[in-house]
Every structure is written in structure tokens, then in C-alpha cells.
Amino acid sequence: MICVLTGNGKGKTTSAMGQILRALGRKQNVCLIQLFKDADFYGEQKILVTLKHIDFYAFAPRHPYCFKEVPMKRVKKQCGQALACFEKIVNGKKKYGLIVLEEFNIALREKLIDFKDLHLLLEQCDPTANVVITGRGAPQELISYADLVTEMKEIKHPYALGVPAREGWEF
């Protein structure tokens, strides 16, 4: 099952984390590969690294919506490293019930990862594994390919009124 969580509303990562908890609750192995998020900043990361049956990898700078402030060469390199990590997971011996590719939609949208490369790896995944791909701006190619697509739509958000992100809620 390929699931895409996209849209400009809050809840993509939150939904993916819920799927991780559900899979772990069923004693499935989980792999989380995050782009645009340092490995020790977000609240969910602090908990996930303490749990059994989860392999967690983080690539790229801390601020997912400010990555253009980082040299693009570095961002593209880290996206390539994340894709290579996914390739190792796909070709490895360990069986995963769930693989989450966090913020990969942004990398696809910005052409930091080529859809053809991701598609090839998705085709090679164990057919019993569920793959969740998150991030704003999922490309139409991925939406067409996926089995399940949910768009989070922002109706109202305090950030639009200048309220800063809150620890434990947004990160």
C-alpha cells in the first residue's frame, strides 16, 4: 500500500506518526526516513528513538520550510543520501511492515529527488509493506501512482495571525 499525505494543512506528520504507533503496536518493524528535519529537534523523534522495532534516519537542515537558506547543493546531496538510505532499506534483508518517507513530497516537488528514481524503489518494495510519503505539494505522478491519497487542507491556523510554532504541537 502506497499512501500519500499532502496538502497545506496541519496533520501530515501527525498522521504518519499515528501509523507508526499503530504498526509498532502490532509488533511490525518500522523505518522512518525524514528529510528537512534534524534528528534531535522534533518531539516525536525524542520518543521514537527510544522504541524497539524502529529504524530512524534524518537528513537535511532543521527547518523544513526554510531549507532554501541552506546551500542548495547541500540540500540536494542530503536528499540523495535519503534516497540511497531508502534503497538500502528496500534491498536489505530486514522486513518492514511500515516505511515512512517524511517530507519526500517536498523533495519531489523541488526536483531534489527524481520521481523515476523513487518510483523504481517503490516498485521494488516488499508488497506486504505499507509506505507513507508525506509533505506539501505531492506531484501528480505520485498521486496517480499511490493507492491512498489524503490532502490536509488548511481552513484556519494561528500561524497566519503571527502566532509562533508551539513546542509539543508543531514540533
CATH of the domain at 62: 3.40.50.300
* Backbone dihedral angles phi then psi of residue 121, each to the nearest 5 degrees: -70, -40
CA angle 165, 167, 170 (to 5 degrees): 50
- For residue 171, is it within any domain? no
Count of domains for the chain = 1
Write the DSSP symbol of residue 138.
Answer: -
Query: 6 has which bridge partners?
Result: 151
pLDDT in tens, the chain (171 residues): 999 999 999 999 999 999 999 999 999 999 999 998 766 667 788 888 888 999 999 987 655 445 566 777 888 899 999 999 999 999 999 999 999 999 999 999 999 999 999 999 999 999 999 999 999 999 999 999 999 999 999 888 777 778 887 777 776
| Residue the block writes with cell 503571527 | 162
Q: What pTM was computed for the model?
A: 0.89
CA distance 56 to 70: 23
Q: Can you give the residue range of the structural domain that contains 135?
A: 2-161
Distance, in Å, from the CA atom of 107 to the CA atom of 139, rounded to the nearest integer, reads 10
Tell me, yes or no, whether 26 lies in a domain: yes
